[in-house]
């Protein structure tokens, strides 16, 4: 993103990322959903809605992975790339490039395993979101 982005609710973003990094993916989704809706309703800031929705979709994708829902994991993680790609390399202190680089091999492995072998996914490969709240671009 070229313009300087400003978080609508920096505390909610930090909380959502902490929940994601603790594998509380559903909680992350819930925390960021209200921010996503608020941002989406604002005229000029609406593009940031895609950023929040992308993080939500990564969280929801891993939530589905942990519940052995292959289709849900594939659909959500795949769509997250479309939403987050424009925000590389970073946005609101989130290292978007690293997140996408870390999610890509997970998605590849999920696709390789297919629905019948999804339980064999090495959960240690689930990435953390690297976040520096002091960086705002």
pLDDT at 92 over 90: yes
Asked if residue 135 belongs to a domain, the reply is: no
- Please say if the pLDDT value at position 58 is more than 90: yes
- Selection from 1-5, 38-42, 116-120 with the highest mean pLDDT: 116-120
CB 32 within 8 A of CB 13: yes
- Domain with 102 in it: what CATH number? 1.10.3450.10
Contact between 34 and 15 under an 8 Å Cβ cutoff? The reply is no
Task: Write the CB contacts of 2 (distance below 8 Å, at least 6 apart in sequence).
Answer: none
Q: Other CB atoms closer than 10 Å to residue 43's CB: what's the count?
A: 5
Domain tally for the chain? 1
Domain that holds residue 114: 10-125
pLDDT of residue 137: 55
CB contact at 8 A, 55 and 84: yes
What are 41's two structure tokens? 């309703």
């Amino acid at each position: 993103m070229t313009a300087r982005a400003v978080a609508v609710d920096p505390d909610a973003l930090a909380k959502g990322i902490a929940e994601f990094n603790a594998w509380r993916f559903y909680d992350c989704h819930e925390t960021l959903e209200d921010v996503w809706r608020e941002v989406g309703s604002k005229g000029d800031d609406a593009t940031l809605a895609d950023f929040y929705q992308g993080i939500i979709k990564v969280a929801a994708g891993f939530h589905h992975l942990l519940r052995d829902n292959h289709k849900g994991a594939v659909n959500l993680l795949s769509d997250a790339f479309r939403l987050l790609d424009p925000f590389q390399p970073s946005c609101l202190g989130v290292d978007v490039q690293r997140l996408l680089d870390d999610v890509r091999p997970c998605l590849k492995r999920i696709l390789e395993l297919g629905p019948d072998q999804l339980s064999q996914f090495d959960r240690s490969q689930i990435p953390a979101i690297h976040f520096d709240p002091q960086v705002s671009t």
